[in-house]
Amino acid sequence: MFSRFFAVIVSAFLLATPAFAGDAKVGTVDYGRAIQEIDEGKAAQSRLDAMYAGEKAKIEQMEIDLQKLLEEYQSKQAILSDTARAEYEQRLGQKQMEYQQAYANADYEMQNAYFSAMEQLMGGLGVVAEEIGKEGDYDLILEVSQGSVLYSGGTDLTDQVIQRYNTKNP
């Protein structure tokens, strides 16, 4: 939301200032596309996919085990003593709680891994975009994947950013 608001404000400023708008050299970068296309972004996606698959397999196995215990309990419920029934119910409650905790932990770890990877990649892309901006004598470079840009006359620098990032980060 903030990036959209910022893009609107910057665009309005550029359009309202004829002297600046006429002389301004504006570029754009699509970080979303860049992250998908840089080698390090592809590697990060592969790591995240592998992590997700591993966590998913553990959670699914816990779910299967819980379902088996529930089915076992249901098949024996009518013939169990009150004590045995209470023990089954306690085990079921414990397994359910372990399952829910493992699911929440896996979700938390996946989110942290994703945000950590994105933070690192965005930081590196920002450095490269800044270098290209200085070298190309750009007055302004807008990141376009997170918000709308009203000023569309800028030069798209995304391909340059991707190429340079891959060169600097083999």
Q: Are 149 and 9 within 8 A, CB to CB? A: no
Q: Are 28 and 153 within 8 A, CB to CB? A: no
Give pLDDT, residue 153. Answer: 57
Structural domain count of the chain: 1
Q: Which domain holds residue 59?
A: 2-168
Mean pLDDT of 33-44: 95
Residue 57 sits in a domain whose CATH number is: 3.30.910.20
Strands 140-143 and 26-29: parallel
Instruction: Count Cβ atoms below 10 Å from residue 109 Cβ, excluding itself.
Output: 13
Count of residues making up the chain: 170
End-to-end alpha carbon distance in the chain: 34
C-alpha to C-alpha distance for 46 and 63, rounded to whole angstroms: 25
Residue 57 pLDDT > 90, yes or no?
yes
C-alpha to C-alpha distance for 138 and 27, rounded to whole angstroms: 7
Mean pLDDT of 106-132: 93
Residue 60 pLDDT > 90, yes or no?
yes
pTM of the complete model: 0.70
% residues pLDDT > 70 (the chain) = 82
Q: Check residue 122 and report its DSSP letter.
A: H
Q: Are 157 and 14 within 8 A, CB to CB? A: no
Residue 150 pLDDT > 50, yes or no?
no
Mean pLDDT of 12-41: 76
